[in-house]
Copies of this chain bind each other. A is one copy, B any other.
Amino acid sequence: MDTVPRLRGKTVVLSGGVGGARFAWGLARLLPPEDLTIIVNVGDDFRHFGLYICPDLDIVCYTLADMEHPEQGWGLADETWHAMAMVERLHGPTWFRLGDGDLGTHLERTRRLEQGHSLSAITEDFCRAWGIPQRILPVTNDPVRTVVLTREYGPLPFQEYFVKYRTQPTVRGFHFRGAEQAYPAPGVIPAINEALVVLIAPSNPWVSIDPILAVPGIREALAGKTVVAVSPIIGGQTVKGPAAKMYREMGIEPSALAVARHYRDLLQGFVVDLRDAALASVIQQELGIPVLITDTWMQPKPKRAQVARSVWEFAHTLARTYP
């Protein structure tokens, strides 16, 4: 990887969980660490067993530190499960799998939060301990909670919808509880202001990126910037997660076009996969923005840097052309 020529220029990524984490990992291979800030969704955060759990922040950190489980999209590699085995023996809930090492993260985060430290300060400190030189910021230190409005169960906290009910309930809408009262975490707005480009990772628009955009001040800060989004939907499907299903249940045909429309007010450019080449001109015409057609498939692992490079260079070209 060290033979890949380095790029330069302050870059912000808006990220949810695994897709954003992998995309950010790719960028981290290309950019000097001080040029990369990853702003992460906290709408999935929740309390479980009294512990404060941040699924998106954790998978972004674990991925950037090369500690993540290689396949499952959450948790650590080489994890053990003794705490969960005891919970199971005690007939406790095991739908949210907490590995022993991962528990250490939640324990120490919870302890510090209760001492009054902010989530962003804790995350910064954890990144230092894990040897992550890039900046990873929760979008806000205030509680923003994604609520999924479902037909079968009414409003569900995100993790119940996502993990407990395995995204089975029919989605009717979303609500980001607490978002209107939230403030961007320290560093978030300055990072966007200083960024040459802002990249929206191939994360779920409904439940990973929208809760970031729902924090007052974020959309305003993005207004003047070169914002480029990568479609998480390829050939009408998602690589991981329920985005396509959500579009369908919201009455929208899932496609890269639907994603581009989702972000339409924000975008200076859009990236679709090779398999969606046919949609590029439709998007280009309808939104009046350039569309990059490129291979966005991030497996195997080294390919993430290739995807990141294509997207970054595209955005960088736009940044020099458009602002």
Contact = CB atoms under 8 A, between A and B. Distances in A.
A265 interface: no
Q: Which secondary structure dominates chain A's binding surface?
A: helix
Count of identical protomers in the assembly: 2
Interface residues of A, number: 36
Nearest to A51: B50
A6 interface: no
A185 interface: no
A85 B104 contact: yes
A108 B86 contact: yes
Contact of A50 (B83, B98, B110): B110
A317 interface: no
Contacts of A85: 101, 104
Interface in A51-83: 51-52, 79-80, 82-83
A104 B80 contact: no
Contact of A129 (B50, B89, B110): B89
Interface of A: 48-52, 79-80, 82-87, 89-93, 98-105, 107-108, 110-112, 114, 125-126, 129-130
The 8 A-B residue pairs with the shortest CB-CB distance in the complex, in nearest-first order: A86-B104, A82-B100, A92-B108, A50-B110, A49-B107, A100-B100, A83-B104, A83-B103
